[in-house]
Chain A
Amino acid sequence: MSWSQVLELIQNILITQTGIPHVTWGQGVMLLIGLLFLYLAIAKEYEPLLLLPIGFGIFLVNFPLTPLMGFTEHGTPELIRVFYKYGVEWEVIPCVIFLGLGAMTDFGPLIANPKTLIIGAGAQLGVFVTYIGVLFFGFTLKEAASVGIIGGADGPTTIYLTAKLAPHLLGANALAAYSYMAMVPLIQPPIMRLMTTEAQRKIKMSQLRYVSPREKLLFPLIAITLIVLLIPAVAPLMGMFMFGNLMRESGVVKRLSDTAQNSLMNIVTIFLGLSVGATMKAEVFLNWKPLLIFGFGLLDFVICTFGGILTVHIMNLFLKDKMNPLIGSAGVSAVPMSARVSHVEGLKADPNNWLLMHAMGPNLAGVIGSAAAAGMFIAMFQ
């Protein structure tokens, strides 16, 4: 073997078997974006359970020639593609996450004050405004719906709807949803202060009534009956959500409830985060659409917060016992962060005003509301 042949061999190996010659600067940008999200997750603790795997997914998949998100010559999916295909594409993981969320959720505050359900509906305003807004930028109806749902501030719902309607936008939508959910304490307070007077922020609400365990037990059955009769398309999400809650409230399947809340939830979160991050390859992500999605996602959150507070103002015109409008912002799902924000803002106005439990009502209503909005969109495209 001559030197030229050895050099040719080395050259071939370098070109075909290593990633270095194939690195594009687009991938470099994506690696930096991956690192940014890892930083936000680790250093700033912004939704770390999701942003860490998503960030690492972005980071990993943007190295050239990596056999992770493609298919082999025989059509077998590669590692992360397997997670994506069976978890996300088949719409399994978001529903399993909803099962865990149901098992974690205490609907007591919502049952005690069902009026707050209307706030959860009003807080979906941004979903529909964004839906129309992005249509002006050339998005299709399905894409617009999947971008609109970001404002519902519910990660699993966003992923579920996007995987169903516009899977090519999954990465951007999920990232926008989780990023802005983490930024709820930054986004909401200025809007809350803008939309309320000092006196309104000081409104004290009467204590929530006692909710018996029997009532909590029957709630998932009543809720799922009514919701699925009206929006059958939302049955996978709400069905799992209410099933999880029934396991919790029944008290007879503690092991199953604990598994749904902890182990199962943690397992699917790993696969979800990694596979969502892995959808963000440079050639897909670096175009104008994800950027618009981030822009409209922020607008969506703002309008949803506005919609929730506005709904409380409107409701207060008819209610004898006035509600504190600060709890309106909690209508944007994002449990429990937006409820905490309402609580904190209430405390700022009056150190003796305890809004947390009152805000949990619209917060849980927001979960149901955003799932209902997703169901509406799914039904629209059937």
Chain B
Amino acid sequence: MTKIYNYLNNKIWKSNNRTIWNSSISSGLIVCLSAILFLFPMTLSTAYASSNDKQDKNSMVSGQELEKPKPVFTRNGSEISAKLIPRAKSTSVTLNFKVTKGGKLLDVKGMDFEKAARPEVDIKNYKSALFVVEIGDVSPAGSDATVNISSDFFASGTEYRVFNEKLPQPWFNSECHNVASKGRVRELMITVKDGGPFDSDGQANGSITFVGGPRDSFWGYALGTLFIRFFGIFLVLGVLMIGMMLSGMFFSRADSKNGAKESDDDLNSTSSDVVDSVSSDPEIIAEENVVEAQHDSEEIAPNADAEAKFFDEAVDDYEIAAAIATALHLHFQTSAPAPIVIEKTEPTATFQRVVCPVQQTNTWSNDGRSQIMRERQQTYNRTNR
């Protein structure tokens, strides 16, 4: 074990910058860690759950239990509204019940799904609970009444399923009419016959007890929303990408314009500075090109103080520039002969691309790049996430 530990430790944690990891070791570690994380607690948890009598059952939290809709009913004239937070929702919805024809709405109550649970029925399809609708004054007894249930929570595919435990097949579709109403509201219109299969009391006695609930396909919703939302992310980030490309074009254009203007200004000012400075320097005067500059600058040089100042700065700049030029020259002489190619373009709407030399194999440049990358890694080290 010690050998294995040492091997792993050396191989993984103390290898060169912790970076060169053997894939088989990686896979092995994943498996080991997974085993620790899964198998160990899994064995114990099963035993624990079955053996611990003192365990508080309420603390074994179930998502289904937490999301159980708890409708609150309010009556407004002949209409009863149920306000509830359906399963898979965080905001409340309102379902309005009324009897439009053939009777009077007496009461609407919520019903626990467990009372109507059957193996063939999936509770997930019933997002907004079950309701017991009581209708009275059905006259004549045994006639039909029309129940109207409206909500903006219903979709065009919403059905209303009826539960009647007295029937051999207690769950069945009410074949309701699902019609669009004002705004996003949809209405489910169900015709219920007194004493018919929808009537839980089973008697044509002038009152109807109608148990059921709106049903939406859980898997249809889950899969549908999966695709919509996954491609929604592409859409959002695509829009952001287009926005950034446009802003990038705008800024590149603006920057290149400014850059061109500044470089023109710099060029003008530098040439005049150079000219001013070299005109006072006896050593540089000997240089042929500077002599030319001197001739051009005779009219420009304003006064002696300014000349001296420009002279000092220009000499410094020249020294630095010469050092950089020498270094670059030596570097590119010693490395592969890949010249710097700068695609100089006029300021346009496209990016001004600078094509850098192909990455060289020279030790000096590699060391430099390694240094830069190490510094960048430090910059991007956000370990306290």
Query: Which residue numbers of A lie inside 8 Å of B, CB to CB?
Result: 24-26, 29, 33, 36, 44, 47-50, 97, 101, 104-106, 110-112, 114-115, 117-118, 120-122, 124-125, 128, 131-132, 135, 139-144, 154-156, 164-166, 168, 179, 181, 183, 185-187, 189-190, 193, 204, 206-207, 209-210, 212, 214-215, 218-219, 222-223, 226-227, 230-231, 265-266, 269, 281-284, 286-288, 290-291, 294-295, 298, 335-336, 339-340, 343-344, 347-348, 351-354, 356-357, 360, 365, 368-369, 372-373, 376-378, 380-382
Contacts and interface: CB of A to CB of B under 8 A. Distances in A.
Nearest to B27: A190
Nearest to B355: A206
Q: How large is the interface on B (under 10, 10 to 19, 20 to 34, 35 or more residues)?
A: 35 or more
Interface string B1-30: 000000000000100001111010011011
B29 A227 contact: no
A36 B66 CA distance: 31
Contact of B359 (A140, A181, A352): A352
B384 A265 contact: yes
Interface of B: 13, 18-21, 23, 26-27, 29-30, 33-34, 36-38, 41-42, 44-46, 48-49, 52, 54-56, 59-61, 63-64, 66-67, 87-91, 124, 218-219, 221-223, 225-226, 229-230, 232-241, 243-245, 247-248, 251-252, 255, 351, 353-356, 358-361, 366, 369, 373, 376-377, 379-385
Contacts of B382: 101, 104-105, 335-336
A186 B21 contact: yes
Contacts of A189: 21, 23, 26
A372 B236 contact: yes
Contacts of B13: 44
Given A121-B237, A226-B239, A286 B244 contact: no
Given A128-B229, A132-B222, A165-B90, A111 B380 contact: no
B385 A156 contact: yes
B104 to A, nearest CB: 36
Nearest to B240: A226
Contacts of A265: 384
Q: Which 3 residue pairs across A and B have the least CB separation, nearest first?
A: A140-B63, A168-B61, A114-B244
B373 A380 contact: no
The secondary structure that dominates the A interface is helix
A381 B63 contact: no
Given A49-B385, A283-B60, A288-B46, 11 more contacts: A29-B41, A114-B240, A168-B63, A190-B23, A209-B252, A226-B243, A288-B42, A295-B38, A348-B20, A381-B88, A381-B89
Contact of A354 (B63, B66, B369): B369
Nearest to B57: A283
Contacts of A354: 359, 369, 373
Contact of A139 (B18, B63, B381, B385): B63
30 contacts: A33-B41, A36-B36, A47-B385, A49-B385, A101-B385, A114-B241, A117-B238, A125-B230, A132-B223, A154-B385, A164-B90, A185-B21, A186-B21, A219-B247, A222-B244, A226-B240, A230-B235, A269-B384, A284-B61, A287-B45, A295-B34, A335-B382, A340-B377, A347-B19, A376-B229, A376-B233, A380-B225, A380-B229, A381-B91, A382-B91
The secondary structure that dominates the B interface is helix
Contacts of A376: 229, 232-233
Contacts of B20: 344, 348
